[in-house]
Amino acid sequence: MNQPRFVEAIAITGRVLGGLFYYDPQSENIAPLIRAFHDGSWAQQWPESIPFKPELVESFQVASEEPLSEAYQRLFVGPYALPAPPWGSVWLDRENVLFGDSTLALRQWMRENGIAFEAEQNEPEDHFGTLLMLAAWLKENNRDEEWQQLLGWHLLPWSGRFLEEFVAHAEHPFYRSLGELAQQTLAFWQTELLSPVADKKLYR
């Protein structure tokens, strides 16, 4: 469904969630988003067409002894093993590696569709946050066929399992709530798909 309000809703939620999953919470890129989720004002700006559980408003505000930046480091950077790595190939590749076959397939798909990926450092294209922001960009630019392909082949086959593990092991109220909001949002996104999600074997 490409009605303007749905396009805008998917674009907004993709950019918001993608940024929060991708950037360090101390980054200037998402400082306004962090404040909005901490004070609850995000709920009034969230697209009405994409529902969320009301209790999430308060759960984002629950205090934690662990600073948000340290939680980000633990969940997305390391140095210890990440409880739920945010890269698709870790879930789709038998060896659970970065830059696996699924990453190369995504890279080839992006090349064929004229989609440039500009990373600040040498990192895989299949980061969960990056793919959400790419999905937003595709919707904003009326590239619905590519949006459908991105979700059906390169994101949704593994993101459900990733988010399940992320929520279960986040151990921080902000990121646990973020994972739950992403689950609810992607459930709505999936209703917009015109074909089933590709059935791919997961190795985690």
pLDDT attached to residue 118: 74
% of the chain surpassing 90 pLDDT: 91
Residue 116 in domain: yes
Distances (CA, A) of 70 to 4, 64, 138, 192: 39, 11, 32, 36
Distances (CA, A) of 172 to 91, 147, 159, 175, 183: 23, 31, 20, 6, 17
Residue 204 in domain: no
pLDDT attached to residue 40: 97
Which of the four pLDDT bands, split at 50, 70 and 90, describes residue 117?
confident
The stretch 177-196 carries a mean pLDDT of 96
Phi, psi (deg, nearest 5) at residue 87: -105, 135
Residue 84 in domain: yes
Which of the four pLDDT bands, split at 50, 70 and 90, describes residue 183?
very high
pLDDT attached to residue 6: 85
The answer to whether 95 and 113 are in contact (CB under 8 A) is: no
* Tokens of residue 10, six digits: 């998917």
CA atoms within 13 A on the CB side of 157: 25
Residue 150 in domain: yes
Asked whether the predicted pLDDT for residue 103 surpasses 70, the reply is: yes
Asked whether the predicted pLDDT for residue 27 surpasses 70, the reply is: yes
Q: Which positions ≥6 away from 34 have C-beta within 8 Å? A: 20, 25, 68
Phi, psi (deg, nearest 5) at residue 190: -65, -30
Question: By residue range, what is the domain housing residue 80?
Answer: 4-192
pLDDT attached to residue 129: 97
The rounded mean pLDDT for the chain is 94
Asked whether the predicted pLDDT for residue 180 surpasses 70, the reply is: yes
Residue 199 in domain: no
Domain count, the chain: 1
Alpha helices per DSSP H over 66-100: 68-72, 88-92
Asked whether the predicted pLDDT for residue 26 surpasses 70, the reply is: yes
Q: How far apart are CA 63 and CA 30, in angstroms?
A: 19
Q: Is the overall model pTM greater than 0.85, yes or no?
A: yes
Residue 198 in domain: no
The answer to whether 44 and 53 are in contact (CB under 8 A) is: no
Residue 99 in domain: yes
Residue 197 in domain: no
Asked whether the predicted pLDDT for residue 122 surpasses 90, the reply is: no
137: domain CATH number is 1.10.3480.10
The stretch 120-146 carries a mean pLDDT of 92
Which of the four pLDDT bands, split at 50, 70 and 90, describes residue 2?
low
